[in-house]
Copies of this chain bind each other. A is one copy, B any other.
Amino acid sequence: MPPEKPYPLDEILHPKSVAVVGASASQQAGGWVSRLINFGYTGEVYPVNPRADEINGLKAYPTVRDIPYPVDYVIFNIPARLAPQIMEDCVAKGVKAVHMFTAGFSETGRGEAAELERQTAETARKGGVRIIGPNCMGVYCPESGLTFNPAFSREPGKVAFIAQTGAGTIRFVYLANDMGIHFSKVISYGNAIDLDAPDFLEYLAGDDETGIIGCYIEGVRDGRRFLEVVKKCLSAKPVVILKAGLTEGGAGAAASHTAALAGSGLVWDAFFKQTRAVPVNTIEEMADMLLTFSHMPCPGGRRVAIVGRGGGIGVIATDTCERAGLRVPPFLNETRRQLEEIIPEAGTGARNPVETALGMAGAADFYNRGLAIVDADPQIDLILIQLAVDVYGGRQPYLKEQLVSTAEVLINTAQALAKPVAVVFGIGEDINSITAVLEARQKLLAAGIPVYSSIEVAARCLNKLIEYNQWPETD
């Protein structure tokens, strides 16, 4: 008998057992069964393959029906034409949810493929089985041990991400993990023939494990419900949205990707005006914005102190911040006077931006004294520190030690400051600089200090953070 109500999402995302239909006997190392085992999924895993007795050391079954134990969750890794039959098996077995990795349905634009999709969905609906997909990577949930990539971080975090893109999600999680962002749930949901963005968002709105939500959206079927659930999420936590397919070419590409109706730019402009959801345009910007919400306390205003580089680099940084909507006001005279006492070349670099003592280790030393002076200026709301390998005598053998010790000094100093601190740290060009920057950057990120790859990226994210927090006043 099908259940009266569909299974709640939290139960679906924490299955006690997973069957993999189409478990690969020939590609065991990279298959779905090994992904779960290697990631450390602790529930039961049942390979299903009529032509194998054992896969990855586990007994294989010919069909889902043949598994003699309860099965919560099934992954479809089979050709599209087999989907309706296997869904029948899942209904008969009382499976709660199916992740259809399988592609080749409505997104192909072919009638018979769309019909297969419709049949499969109908069978599932009548039988009370929920579907994630098809044409998607499914769920990555460190807490429950589900994953589509065993290389992802096993550490749970407070960020949730849902997306109508598989490769994009893999790219995003790698990027985010390397920035020190960890996840509560990541769901790549493809064509969304059953569970769709509003279902996931409604669940995430009330999910205590989730503090920040990111979405990659191509199309929305029920715009009104989508707006409602996004508002519900926003009453509790920030939501960052990458709406893809907003240009003419992009809309066409989205249609052939997930059969999505992309919606017009005007509708989405109105959507972002009505909500405080934060729009972003690329996967990199999504990661940077989620990092901002994860690590950055909200500044009291938009007046930035730029610390680290004066001269032309400081002028460019100032222009870049102001173009993004921030302000870089001159420090108070008293602040400048105090800074000039500790900067060797008086007069040139204490106005804001303030140039730290150039020449190697001096720049690290500056942070101990200089940052406290800048922090005390009432004209300043936040501090942006511009690190650069060239300040530290780039391409020298001692570069890594110097950058790491600078990071440590910064971490200690930043804790004592009243104003929020962010760091800009360009990755450098040659492999030695890059190695040094990566190590110092990891230290800063691990200490909860946001690090951006350029002033442009930092200014854009910080301005969006401030706009989010001032909403609706600034709108």
- List chain A positions with a Cβ less than 8 A from chain B: 103-104, 107-110, 151, 163-171, 174-175, 178, 216, 218, 242, 244-250, 252-254, 256-257, 281-284, 309-316, 318-323, 327-330, 345-349, 351-353, 358, 388, 390, 394-395, 427, 429-431, 434-435, 438, 454-456
Q: Is the CB of B348 within 8 A of A390?
A: no
Evaluate contact between A314 and B348: CB separation under 8 angstroms: no
With A218-B312, A320-B281 in contact, is A347–B109 under 8 Å at CB?
Answer: yes
Q: Which residues of B contact A257 (CB under 8 A)?
A: 310-312, 314-315, 348
Across the A-B interface, the 8 shortest Cβ-Cβ residue pairs: A165-B312, A168-B312, A247-B322, A249-B328, A250-B319, A178-B429, A108-B347, A244-B315
What residues on B are CB-neighbors of A316 within 8 Å? Answer: 168, 242, 244, 250, 281-283
Copies per assembly:
2
The answer to whether B167 and A248 have CB atoms under 8 Å apart is no
The answer for the CA separation of A237 and B144 in the assembled complex, in Å, is 61
Could you say which of B107, B284, B454 contacts A284, with CB atoms under 8 Å apart? B454
Closest to A166 in B: B311
Most B-side CB within 10 Å, residue of A107, A165, A327, A394: A165
Complex Cα distance, B438 from A248, in Å, reads 34
In the complex, are the beta carbons of A390 and B170 less than 8 A apart? Answer: yes
Choice from B108, B165, B281 contacting A313 with Cβ under 8 Å? B165
Q: How far is the CB of A455 from the nearest CB of chain B, in Å? A: 8
B107 touches A318 (CB 8 A): no
Contact across chains for A250 and B430 when beta carbons are under 8 A apart: no
Establish whether residues A348 and B108, one from each chain, have CB atoms under 8 Å apart when the complex forms: yes
Looking at the assembled complex, report how far the CB atom of A299 sits from the nearest CB atom of chain B, in whole angstroms.
16
A345–B166 alpha-carbon span in the complex (Å): 15
- 27 residue pairs from A and B, CB less than 8 Å apart: A110-B347, A165-B312, A167-B312, A167-B358, A168-B311, A168-B312, A171-B390, A178-B430, A218-B312, A244-B315, A245-B315, A248-B322, A249-B322, A249-B329, A249-B352, A250-B318, A253-B310, A253-B315, A256-B348, A256-B349, A257-B310, A257-B312, A257-B314, A257-B348, A281-B320, A281-B323, A282-B455
